[in-house]
Structure 1
C-alpha cells in the first residue's frame, strides 16, 4: 500500500509535467502561426441521431492547459510529503486528478453541454475535497461551497435550454452574428451569473474563504488555476457577447471593483494565514473581472496565468509553515520564522512581492499594465478610486504578513522543531518560485505581438508606485503600533468584527436565506402534521381501525358458528324466494 501511494504520486507528477511541456510547445506553435483547430468527433450515430463531441484547440486553451498541468504536477509532488501520514493518499491523488481532468474538459469545450460536464465535475470533486478531513467545519464549508455553486449550475442549464433556439449548443458559432438577439442576451445574463458564482464575486463571495477547510495542496490548486478561474475563463470566451451589452459590462465593472475592495479590506483584519491568502485570491479575481469588463480579455487572461504561479507558491509556503507549526494557522503565533525556515519564508515573501506587483516579478507585468490602462481608459471616478485603493490594500495586507513572518517573537512554543528539511515540498516550491520570477516576462514576450507602451505624465506614471509604497508603509506601521493604541479603540474592534464576517456575507448566504423557509416549515408541521392531519388522519384512523373494527371483528370471531348458521338460513330463504 505504501509503495502504491508513492508510485501514484510519481506517475501523475511525471505524466502531468510531460504533458505541460507538450502543451506549452503547441501553444507557442499555434500562437506563432495563428492556428485554431475545431475538431468534431462523432461518437455514435443511430439512424438520424448523432452524438458529437466538439473540441477547440487554440493558443489560449493550450497555454492554459499547460499552466494547469504544471501547477498540478508540482502540487501532486508536494502532496507526497505533505499528506504522507494520510492513510488513503492514493484516493486523495485520484480526486486531484479528476479535478484536473474536469478543468481540462472545460478549457477545450466550445459547447455548452460539454462545458457543463467539466463545470459540474469541478463542483462535485471540489465538494469531495473540501470535506476531505471529515469534521463538522469541513462539512459546513463543503455544503456552502456546493450550494453556492449550484446557483451558477442552474444558470448554465437555463443558458443551455435557451441555446436550443439556435439548433446547436456550439456557442462559438453564434457569438458575433447573433449578439443583438434577445435570446443571446438572456444567455449572456445566465453565463455572467454562472461566472460570478464560480469566481466568487459579490454577493457569492462567502464560499471562497470557507473552502479553506480543504487540505492545503487542494487550496493551492483551487485558488491558482482551476475552480475559481473557470468563471473568468468562460467570460473571456464570451467576451464578444459581453462587449455588445453596455449594461452587463458596467455592472460587472462595479461588482469586480467592489469584490476587489471588500476582499482587500477584510484581509487586513484577518489572522488565519490560509484565509488571508484566500481573500487575496478573491481580490485578484475581482481585478480580472473588472479589467475583462473594460474590454481587455487578453490582459485578463495574462493576469490569470501570472496570478496562478505566485498564488500556488503562496499556498505551498503556507502549507509548509502550518506543517512545521503543528497545524497552527494563526499568524500571531508566527514570528522571526526567517531564522528557522529561511528558504520557505524567502519563497513566501517573494510570492507576496509578486502579488504586490514588485517590478520584474510575475505579477508586475500584468498588474502594472492593468493599472496604467485604467488611467487612460474612460472609467468613472468611483471605479478608478476602487482600483487604486484596492491595490494599496493588497500591498498593506502583504506587508502585514511580512511583518508577522519576519519580525516579532515566536509565540507558539519554546521548544520547537521548525526547519526547512521537507525536501520534497521544497523542490516543488523552488520550481514554482522560478516560474514566479520569470513567468510574467516570458508570457509578456509570448502573448503580445507588439510591446504595450502606455504614455503617461510623470506624476501618473509614479502614482502606482506611490500607492504601493503607501500601502506597504500602512501595513507595517499599523501592525507595529497596534499593540499600543489601535487594539484598544472601539472603532478598531467594530471594523475587525465587521470585516472578519466579510461584510456579513456568510450570514446573508446561510442563516438569512434558510431562516424563513425553515420557520415556515416548522409552522406547517405544527399546524398540519401535528394538527388537523393528526385529528382527521392518523389518530382517527387508528381509533376507527384499531378500536371499533377490532371490537367488531372480535364479535364476529366469538360468534362465528351462530353467524355461519344464520348465513345458511338466509341463503336458503334467498333460494326459496327467487329461484323456486
Structure 2
C-alpha cells in the first residue's frame, strides 16, 4: 500500500508533536529553560546569532500546533482530493507551520519578524488559493490589515537598537519603566491587535474564510490569529497595570461583544465559526490584559483543540452539501451524518463551556477570575453578556443544522462515508473532551480556590441557559420577526456587518483616496498638464513641421524671393 503525501507528512508531524509534548512535561516537572544561541555568521567583530528559547510554554504550544497540523493535513487528503495543485497546497501549509515554529521559539525580535512575516505572506497565498474575485479581495484585506502590525513590529525593532540587542527577553524586567521600552510595548500591542483581529482590525478575520476549510481549521485554531496573543503573553510584563492594559481590556471586551452579536445574525456556517474565534480571541486578550497570562495561554490551547475540530466538522458538512455554506439549507443532518454531527456538537458544547469538556476548564476559570477582578460595571456586563451570546449563536447553529427537515436538494448523497476526514476529526475529538482536564493538571500545579458569592458563582450558568433559550428563539423566528421589517433589516445589517467594520476597512479607506486621485488625474494629469505639456508640445511641433514642409515644397520661389530681398538690402546699405 502506497501512502499519499498527506499521510506521510501527517505521520511525521504527529511524531514530532508527541516528542515535543513529552519534552514539555519534562520541562514543567524540572522547571527548566534552555536558551540556545547559534552563530550563523561571524565577520571581523560582527556576528549574526540565531537565538532559540525552549521552555515548557514554547514546547507545549509547538506540540499542539504540530498535532493540529498533522490532523488537518491528514483530513486534507480527502477534502482536497482531485485538486490539481495538492502538492502546492501541502507545501504552503507546511511553510505556514514552519513560520509559526519560528515565532514560538524566538526570544529575538528579528527572528520573530521572520515568523511573523512568513505567517502574513503564506496566509495571503492560502486565502487567494481558489483564485476568484472574492478570494483576491479577502486576501488583499488580510494582507494589508496585517501589514499595519508588521510596520509596528519594525518600529519596535528600530527602538530596540537603544539597548544594543534585539533579545527582548533580557530587558523586559530591568527596563520596563524606561520610555523606550514603553514605546516598544505600545508597538508590540498594536502588532498583536492586528494579528489577533481586535477592533478596529477585525474585518479581515471573517473575510479570510475564502481560504479552503482545512486552512481555516489551522488558521483559526493554533497559528495565525493566536500569534498576537502568544506575543503578548511573552511581553505581558511590559503593560500589566498600565493605562495600555486598561485600553486593551476595553477593546478586547468590545471585540468579544461585537463578534458574539454578529454571529447571531449570520447565516454562513464558516463565518459564524470565524466570528466565534474572534469572540474567543477577545476573551483571551481581556484576561491577558487583566494580568493573567497563564490563563490566556491555557484558554489558547484548549480553544485550539475544539475550534480545529469544529472547522473540520463544518468542512465535512459543506463537502456533503455540495459546497453550500448557508445554514438555512441544512437541517436534520444528524439522521444522515450522525458521527460528524456528534463531533460538531461536542466541539460546540466545548465552545460554550459545557462542564468537563475542554473549554470548561479554561473558560469557567477565566469568568470566575474576571468576577474576582476590579473593573467597572460596563465591562462586567459586556463580559457576561458576550458569554451568553456565545451560547446563543452556538445553540442557534445546533438548531439549524440538527432539527427540522433537510432543506437542500431532495436528491442528495449526504452521508458519513468520508472516512479519512472522519479519522482526522476523531483524532481531535478525544482531546476536545479530555484536553482541558489534562492541561489543567499539567499547567496548574496547585488547585485554584476562588471564593465568590453564590449569585456570582452561578452567573456563568445563568447567562449560558438564557443564551441557549435566546438561540432557540432566534431559530424560531428565522423567517418572520416581531419587529417592523424595515427596523429588522437595519438591525440585521448593522449587527450582522460587524458594526460596519468591513465597509469602513475597505470603502472607508480607499473611496475618498480613489475619488481624490481621479480628480487629480482629470484636472492635472489629463487637464492643465496635458494642455501645457503633451498637447502643447504636440501642437507646436505640428505647426513647426507644417512651416518647414511649406518651405521645402516651395523652395525655388522662396530662393528667388530671398535673392531679390538680399539684393534690395545690399543696395540699401551701399547707397
Match of residue 569 from structure 2? none
Partners of 2:253 and 2:379 within 8 A in 1: yes
Assess if the C-alpha contact under 8 Å between 1:17 and 1:70 holds in 2: yes
The aligned residue for residue 144 of structure 1 is 141
Instruction: Compute the displacement of 1:501 (Å).
Output: 1.3
Offset at residue 494 of structure 1 (A): 2.3
Q: How far off is 1:484 after superposition?
A: 5.0
Deviation at 1:482, TM superposition (A): 4.3
Aligned to 1:169, what secondary structure does the other structure show? coil
Aligned to 1:207: 204
Which of 26, 46, 50 is the aligned partner of 1:49?
Answer: 46
- 1:362 matched to which residue of 2? 358
Name the CA distance, whole Å, in 2 between partners of 1:530 and 1:262: 45
- What is the match of residue 544 of structure 1? 540
Matches within 5 A, 1:125-140: 125-140=122-137
1:487–1:493 Cα contact (<8 Å) kept: no
Q: Secondary structure at the match of 2:4?
A: helix
State the Cα distance separating 1:319 from its structure 2 match. Answer: 0.3
How far does residue 237 in structure 1 lie from its aligned partner after superposition?
0.4
What is aligned with 2:398? 402
Residue 574 of structure 1 aligns with which residue? none
| Matching residue of 2:509 | 513
- Is 1:378 aligned with 2:374? yes
CA contact under 8 A between 2:25 and 2:442: conserved in structure 1? yes
Counterparts of 2:483 and 2:69, CA distance in 1: 41
Task: Determine the structure 2 residue equivalent to 1:121.
Answer: 118
State the superposition RMSD in angstroms: 1.9
Which deviates more from structure 2 when the two are superposed, residues 540-549 or residues 145-154?
540-549
Contact kept in structure 2, 1:67 and 1:305, CA below 8 Å: yes
Secondary structure of 2:42's counterpart equals strand
Return closer, same or farther for 1:542/1:390 CA change in 2, 3 Å cut-off: same
* CA drift at 1:546: 4.5
Residue 533 of structure 2 aligns to a residue in which SS?
helix
Question: C-alpha displacement at 1:556, in angstroms?
Answer: 6.8
Match of 1:229 in 2: 226
Distance 1:358 1:26, change over 3 A: same
TM-score normalised by the chain length of structure 1: 0.94
Cα displacement (A) at 1:75: 0.3
Aligned counterpart for 1:274 among listed residues 270, 280, 295? 270
Tell me, what secondary structure is at the counterpart of 1:510?
A: helix
Give the Cα separation in 1 of the matches to 2:154 and 2:317: 42
CA distance in 1, matches of 2:397, 2:483: 18
- How far off is 1:461 after superposition? 1.6
In structure 1, C-alpha distance between the alignment counterparts of 2:546 and 2:78, rounded to whole Å: 71
Describe the superposition over 1:56-95 as per-residue Cα deviations: whole angstroms up to 9, x where unpaired: 1100000000000000000000000000021110110000
Conserved in 2, the CA contact under 8 Å of 1:6 and 1:80? Answer: no
Measured against aligned partners, the alpha-carbon deviations of 1:384-434 in whole angstroms (never above 9, x if no partner) come to 111100000000000001101111111111111110010000000001011
8 Å contact from structure 2 (residues 309, 425) kept in 1:
yes
Q: What displacement does 1:490 show?
A: 3.9
Q: Write the distance in 1 (CA, Å) between the matches of 2:554 and 2:164.
A: 75
In structure 1, stretches of 5+ residues that fail to align are 567-580
With normalisation by structure 2, the TM-score equals 0.94
Contact 1:12 1:73 in 2 (8 A): yes
1:493 to 489, 501, 512: 489
Give the whole-Å Cα distance in 1 for the aligned partners of 2:295 and 2:92: 32
Deviations 1:77-124 (A, max 9, x none): 000000002111011000000000001000011111111111110000
Aligned to 2:433: 437
CA distance in 1, matches of 2:453, 2:438: 28
User: Matched residues in 2 for 1:486 and 1:453: separation?
Assistant: 45
Q: Which position in structure 1 is the counterpart of 2:413?
A: 417
* Residue 37 (structure 1) aligns with: 34
1:342 equivalent among 338, 345, 367: 338
Q: Counterparts of 1:343 and 1:46 in 2: how far apart (Å)?
A: 60
Aligned residues: 559
**Matching residue within 279, 283, 289 for 1:287:** 283
Q: Cα–Cα, structure 1 residues 406 and 488, in superposed 2: closer, same or farther, change >3 Å?
A: farther
Deviation at 1:487, TM superposition (A): 7.2
Does residue 112 of structure 1 match 2:105?
Answer: no
Tell me the distance in 1 between the aligned counterparts of 2:308 and 2:3: 22
> Superposition pairs for residues 278-317 of structure 1, below 5 Å?
278-317=274-313
